[in-house]
Structure 1
Amino acid sequence: MNDRLVTIVGSAAVAYLLYKIVFRASSQLAAIPTIGYSNPILSYIDAVRFLRKDKDRLAEGYAKHKGGFFKIALWDRWLVLASGSAAEEMRRLPDDTMSFMDFITDFLATKYIFAKEITENQYHLHLIPVKLTKNLAALFSDVREEVLLGFQQLVPDKGDEWAVLPAMETIRTIVCRASNRIFVGHPLCRDIEWQNLNMQFAMENQVAQQRAILIPNFLKPILAPLLLNVNKAVKDASRDLGPIVEERRRQYDQYGIDYPDKPNDFVTWMMDVAEGPNRQVEDLVTRVLNLNFAGSYISFSSSFSYFNTMTHALYSLAANPELWLQPLREEVERVVAEDGWTKVAMTKMHKVDSFIKESSRINSLSGISLMRLALKDHTFSDGTLIPKGTSLAAPAIATHEDEANYDDPLSFNPWRFSDVRGSEGEIAKHQFVNTNPGFLTFGHGKHACPGRFFAANELKLMLAHLVVNYDVQLENSSHIRPPNVYFAANCLANPTAKVCFRKRQNDVGAFHDDN
């Protein structure tokens, strides 16, 4: 049999197998309304469209089937969307029925890309609420120091002239540096090579996720491992982090777990609890790389999620600085005068919190939330049968644009959440970190992002520092916000737009953030 015939036969076999898989899935979900084509073959037209028009598809389904279920075609599966009461019912189901982590490892193919030890034992993610959140106050001054130095080094002081900088690249570097102050400590967090390695891995991981959804499920075990060279990234990162881990291990061996001057960072927290193979340098390094890119679907503790969210907020601020800058400045200066640059002060910056939350609401990092994989057949209260193996989610952007949830939902209102605060209970209710069925940036319920407290703290610190130290505007004093970039379920801040910075010119009552 010649090569051409082998190719033809092989392609036909793959096409037939793919058809059988898709046809079976289509017949099992036939009772659920479809946005687009229901035919298993024609549905691939919609799968292609979804890569660029997912926001529109999800909005259409939400409008037509609010409170119930609908499905859309992806390249490798049908995705069932639940909204309103149906989403709440889905969210409350036990993990052995509807699994969040199984959706992640399956949908993003991480179970094939990363080592089994990482995907099946994610103890480092459990340390986020146990260690990271509880150490936010103790580590606040460390993170602030990196934010301060990051802005000083990346934003040149040109007097009354503007410095035109690539927004995402600038924010990404500051976020990477500040986050790694907690992840790996000082001085490695300031190492340019370390920063570049982590930022490069984050971007490559994002591309790998986008490509993973294009691979049919039965081919993922073969092709998914080729999407990301994890071994090379771990090898490169081990050159920097490995000696630090080995030195700390020597301190453990000599003095015990509470050795003198023990660093308080994520590497230490992992070493305190890791056992067996998880104590190896390569394992620890891989987990740090994952912290720098946990992915917008998985955790808001990742640097990738931070810099996207902060860049979104920066674009909104720079598009209308004459409206938003002064109210933010006044709040930051008042609060810092009372409480200093502390974590306590961050909780009192209600306008800063509201600005970031509103930016996150209207520029959701992902079009979907509350992701679940059905581990068994389940019938919902409205009679909808979800077969085992079905992928489900809630349409986040459509939820955020629902007039039933928000007044004038398509408009950016930075004080939307600070204006409604009254009593202490209302203040807590509308904070950025608090989730509800109408605000799904962090998910909702027991699987809500564990890193959201760290995220909110760092983002508010960065915005507060920015507004009291710099004037900002878009190029050519434009008021047109750089358009978002959509790919499948991802909503990314514009990667190429520039923002103009200059040291604050209004010195009347100016607040100098230099200590």
Structure 2
Amino acid sequence: VMDLVARVSQRVFIGPDACRNDEWLTITKRYTVDSLAAARELRAWSPLARPWVHWLLPSCRRVRAELAAARRIVNPIVAARRERNANRAAEGKGVEKVADAVGWLDESARGRRFDPACGQLAFAVAATFTTTELTCVCVLNLCAYPEYVGPLRREIVEVLGEGGGEGGRWRKAALQRLRLMDSFIKESQRLQHEVRATMTRMSKQPVTLSDGTVIPKNALIMVSTDKAMDPAVFPDPHVFNGRRFLEMRERPGQQNRWQFATTSPEHLGFGHGAHACPGRFFAANEIKVLLTFMLIKYDWKLPDGRTEVPALRRWAHEKFVDLEERVLVRRREGEEIEL
């Protein structure tokens, strides 16, 4: 699944050529894993020791090697594009607009110097791990709750087929109409983050809350996600209900509140407020595209006749898909639509 997520993400981030470059895809995947491991290892050391310890830690050495390899791939792409734009400017033509992160970074920099490879790897870290994790959870839920497979496929055919999806062509508006899938993904995310705290912050100054509680300066704080399991908000909160948010959106005035990419105090999968995940809309569309292909082209089930959702691994307050977990996959015959 990480291979799929990496390739789809890089198609948007770096363009159609590099997203098929196996070396580049390997770098983005390894850097994602190694950078998180390096950060975790560095936290075990005093801040005073980190400036020299990082030279010795194997994970940090791998990260530096991956960054060097990334520069060898990304820098020529950026240089070639800048040269084309310089030539166009000399000819009195406008700047070439390309809808990818290479162009976005250059445009946002406004002439300031920056490291394009670092920027691309930062995008990879932000997009690859979290999107892979949630996509895996969705696949496991499809295996454990096969009663949703048929309705999801019918929705895909209705929306993306000839009658409902403008000739089957991909449109952002069409993805927004995959409302059952949107609900299924959001419910998967809700249960994935059960008994978890999120939005880690450090207070820069003392803060007094409305009940008189004082948060001292430099305190590490997190926000509990217990509302996601509150039966007053979500009836039968420990039961997976793929239609839960679809039904909640049918209430008057609630149509947009419970979309997958919409944040709220009750559902902090993407955080909330000014610092909510800015890539959540991209992630929502990406996961829908991936699940559409998976559902239309393949059948999925858990091995050994299992029907229960595999337990997630715990690390501190986090929960993750077990990397040793496996599912059975079979190519379908008679696909309803051509993707």
TM-score by length of 1: 0.60
- Paired AA for residue 87 in structure 2: Q
How far does the alpha carbon of each residue in 1:399-440 deviate from its partner, in whole angstroms, 9 at most, with x for none?
322223311111111111112222674221110011111100
* Closer, same or farther: CA 483–210 of 1 in aligned 2, 3 Å: farther
* Displacement after TM superposition at 1:368 (Å): 2.2
* Displacement after TM superposition at 1:276 (Å): 5.8
Which residue does 1:179 correspond to in 2? 9
Question: 2:301 aligned with 1:473, yes or no?
Answer: yes
Which residue does 2:155 correspond to in 1? 331
Which residue does 1:390 correspond to in 2? 219
How far does the alpha carbon of each residue in 1:356-415 deviate from its partner, in whole angstroms, 9 at most, with x for none?
00000100299322322111112222121211111111122x332222331111111111
* Displacement after TM superposition at 1:217 (Å): 4.3
* Displacement after TM superposition at 1:216 (Å): 3.9
Alignment partner for residue 248 of structure 2, among 420, 426, 439?
A: 420
* Closer, same or farther: CA 395–482 of 1 in aligned 2, 3 Å: same
Question: 2:121 aligned with 1:303, yes or no?
Answer: no
Question: 2:269 aligned with 1:269, yes or no?
Answer: no
Q: Distance in 2 between matches of 1:474 and 1:427?
A: 34
- The size of the alignment, in residue pairs, is 328
1:15-94 equivalences in 2 (<5 Å):
none
Which residue does 1:459 correspond to in 2? 287
Which residue does 1:245 correspond to in 2? 78
List 4+ stretches of structure 1 deviating above 4 A.
Answer: 224-227
Which residue does 1:109 correspond to in 2? none
3-state SS of 1:228 partner: helix
Q: Cα RMSD over matched residues?
A: 2.1
Which residue does 1:198 correspond to in 2? 28
Q: Distance in 1 between matches of 2:324 and 2:196?
A: 22
* Closer, same or farther: CA 197–365 of 1 in aligned 2, 3 Å: farther
Question: 2:197 aligned with 1:368, yes or no?
Answer: yes
- Paired AA for residue 74 in structure 2: L
Contact conserved, 1:367 with 1:490, CA < 8 A, in 2? yes
How far does the alpha carbon of each residue in 1:430-480 deviate from its partner, in whole angstroms, 9 at most, with x for none?
100111111000011111111000000111111122212211111123213
* Closer, same or farther: CA 189–210 of 1 in aligned 2, 3 Å: same
Q: Distance in 1 between matches of 2:172 and 2:111?
A: 36
Contact conserved, 2:183 with 2:260, CA < 8 A, in 1? yes
* Displacement after TM superposition at 1:222 (Å): 4.2
- Paired AA for residue 220 in structure 2: S
3-state SS of 1:471 partner: strand
Contact conserved, 2:194 with 2:229, CA < 8 A, in 1? no
User: What stretches of structure 2 of length at least 5 have no aligned partner?
Assistant: none
1:138-287 equivalences in 2 (<5 Å):
171-223=1-53, 226=57, 227-229=59-61, 230-256=63-89, 258-260=94-96, 262-275=97-110, 278-279=113-114, 283-287=115-119
* Displacement after TM superposition at 1:319 (Å): 2.0
* Closer, same or farther: CA 221–452 of 1 in aligned 2, 3 Å: same
Q: Distance in 2 between matches of 1:202 and 1:234?
A: 11
3-state SS of 1:482 partner: coil
* Closer, same or farther: CA 174–365 of 1 in aligned 2, 3 Å: farther
Q: Distance in 1 between matches of 2:7 and 2:252?
A: 34
Alignment partner for residue 511 of structure 1, among 321, 330, 336?
A: 336
* Closer, same or farther: CA 384–252 of 1 in aligned 2, 3 Å: same
Which residue does 1:379 correspond to in 2? 208
* Closer, same or farther: CA 409–482 of 1 in aligned 2, 3 Å: same
Alignment partner for residue 320 of structure 1, among 122, 138, 145?
A: 145
Q: Distance in 1 between matches of 2:309 and 2:135?
A: 14
TM-score by length of 2: 0.90
* Closer, same or farther: CA 470–330 of 1 in aligned 2, 3 Å: same
Contact conserved, 2:105 with 2:119, CA < 8 A, in 1? no
Question: 2:178 aligned with 1:354, yes or no?
Answer: no
1:97-136 equivalences in 2 (<5 Å):
none
* Closer, same or farther: CA 277–235 of 1 in aligned 2, 3 Å: farther
Which residue does 2:120 correspond to in 1? 288
Q: Distance in 2 between matches of 1:504 and 1:469?
A: 5
3-state SS of 1:430 partner: coil
Contact conserved, 1:473 with 1:499, CA < 8 A, in 2? yes
Which structure's relative contact order is higher, taking Cα pairs within 8 Å and 6+ residues apart? 1
User: What stretches of structure 1 of length at least 5 have no aligned partner?
Assistant: 1-170, 295-301
Compare the two structures and name the one with the higher helix fraction. 1
- Paired AA for residue 325 in structure 2: A
3-state SS of 2:262 partner: coil
* Closer, same or farther: CA 407–215 of 1 in aligned 2, 3 Å: farther
Q: Distance in 2 between matches of 1:415 and 1:316?
A: 13
